[in-house]
Amino acid sequence: MALELSGADHDALDNLLGRVLDLQAANRVSREASVSLLAHILTAAAIDNAGEVQSWLHIPRVVEEWEKRANA
């Protein structure tokens, strides 16, 4: 079964992708960290792990914590 995204999910995905690209462009996270994150989210979607995908899309602290770990 395919994971279905709502309009709000698509908007949140656009925001997440923009944020990751902006962080990388500003050298606040590495290219490798950005690729790893995006692969992680795509894999979660591919295996229908809706909870994981929703966390990344809709809970700001999840991305904030990733950014901190990516810079550690």
> Looking up tokens 């994971």, which residue turns up?
3
The whole-model pTM stands at: 0.87
| Domain range annotation of the chain | 7-70
pLDDT digits (tens, 9 = 90+) for 22-60: 999 999 999 999 999 999 999 999 999 999 999 999 999
What pLDDT, in 10s, does the model give residues 2-23? 788 999 999 999 999 999 999 9
34, 23 Cβ separation under 8 angstroms = yes
